[in-house]
Amino acid sequence: MNEILNKYEIDISLVSSSKLKFDECRIDPKFFSANQNFINDLDTLPLESFCTEIFNPPVFKREFLEDENECRYLASAEIVSFNPELNYITNEQADRLRLRVNKNWILVTGFGTIGSIRITDNIINGYAVGNNVSRIIANKGYEGFIAAYLESSYGNKLLNDHAAGAVIKYIEAPHISKIPVPVLQEKIVNNINEKYLNAVSCREKASELLEKADTLVHQYNNLPLLSETNFETIDNLLESELWFTKLSEFTNDFRLDANFYNYFAKAAEEKIKLFCKNFQRIHDVTKEIRMSPLFVRKFVENEFGVKYIAGKSISKIRKSFKYISVTETKEIEEHTLRKGWTLMTCAGSIGKVGYVNDELDGATAQDIMRIVPDENKIDGGYLNCWLSSYYGKILSERQKYGAVIDRISPEQCGEILIPLPSDKQQKEIGDLVRNAYDLRAEAIRLEDEAQEILTQALTKNK
């Protein structure tokens, strides 16, 4: 045994027989992880003691629609995203299976990625959410505190330790309800709760500003809603998207992929040319559009490196960072992001847009497109808003290529049309975007403060 222990790095800890949960048949080592030692000297109660109800809806078959009058649906991975995919299920199914989530419910992902947390806000209030997301209806005054605890390194480790599954981990309401929660002073609980709910409020205000900016983009450019455009299709049964394309529409760069001739994209360009007095290509109003060179990422501890963000994180509510070595990364400035730039995912999921604010200024990234505005020609916030709009998304997706993994190049991004209202109108829209991202940064600051208070309360006697 000693030879095995010396050869391999194995985590070993002694577990008292009194802790074995024979009534639940839990004898998997992870359930007795040393991660739980922090609660040994704390007064705790099971999570269900702080809640009105904790539940998962039943497993159901999802039949998606394209009808905005039905119920918006969010998959598990989308609850932490600012820009989830547009999917709908019937209102009848959402109500019958109790899939809708309500304001201030705490959502916890419980399949694959365990423990992503979101407090239901006005943005997703009433949406249907996947059955593998647990709903926690906390007692009033505890919503933010419970969310903070489960999102903390302490609570999140407990969620993962209590999860089952040999290959793909999962956890549902019955086990989540038993998670031990420390009983802290009322003053501390109230402080944490207030900060987390204030963070929710900041994100709601940010969403309102971005919605207003999107409305102004259409208004100032005299553009009708593209989603309300009707199209003629060869398939009368509407089982597939089929339409004719004229030979004169084929381009000189031999684009024969069908999505390039998408009817929505063609209609978007036609409407821009018809209704907008002034428009250009994005490459005409930017200093540069580029990728950073591929580089070897040497990840280090936080204090020894600089932030690194992956493409999948740019549209998340709380971005996840790793840190790369400054000294062992060649030409690190080539990979550095600067405030005011627009970011776009360019592989896999095409056209997800982010904005470099104070949180991302100075961070590094790979395989994310940088769109650097020429402030003498365009407002950077307006550019970001346009690419985030439905018009911008349709025109971005039109440019994608690839047989297996979709991609978009800087040159193709530069070909996207952008209408240009007056400088004053651009600035008005741009200011809304910048204020929205500042509010999102404020929300993260408030959550970080709450986490610091929680950590101090849990470790003050250690």
Q: What are the pLDDT digits (tens) for 62-90?
A: 888 888 899 999 999 899 988 888 899 99
**pLDDT tens-digit readout, 403-419:** 778 888 899 999 999 99
pLDDT of residue 462: 55
CB atoms under 10 Å from CB of 12, counted, come to: 7
pLDDT of residue 277 exceeding 80, the answer is yes
What's the mean pLDDT in 126-155? 96
Q: Which of 271-275, 294-298, 430-434 has the lowest mean pLDDT?
A: 294-298
Alpha-carbon distance of 430 to 420, in angstroms, equals: 12
Q: Which residues of 384-412 are buried (b: 16+ CB within 10 A; e: fewer)?
A: bbbbbbbbbbbbbbbbbeeeeebbbebeb
Higher pLDDT, 18 or 164: 164
107-124 confidence digits (pLDDT tens): 999 988 888 999 999 999
Structure tokens at 271: 């409407």
Domains of the chain: 2-183 (3.90.220.20), 211-441 (3.90.220.20)
Question: Which residues, other chains included, contact 114 with Cβ-Cβ below 8 Å and sequence gap of 6+?
Answer: 156, 159, 160, 163, 169, 170, 171
- Per-residue pLDDT tens over the stretch 300-343: 998 888 999 988 888 888 888 899 998 888 888 889 999 999 99
| pTM recorded for the entire structure | 0.87
Q: What is the pLDDT, as a whole number, of residue 455? A: 94
User: What's the pLDDT score for residue 91?
Assistant: 95
Q: How many residues does the chain have?
A: 462
% the chain with pLDDT above 90? 57
pLDDT score, position 350? 82
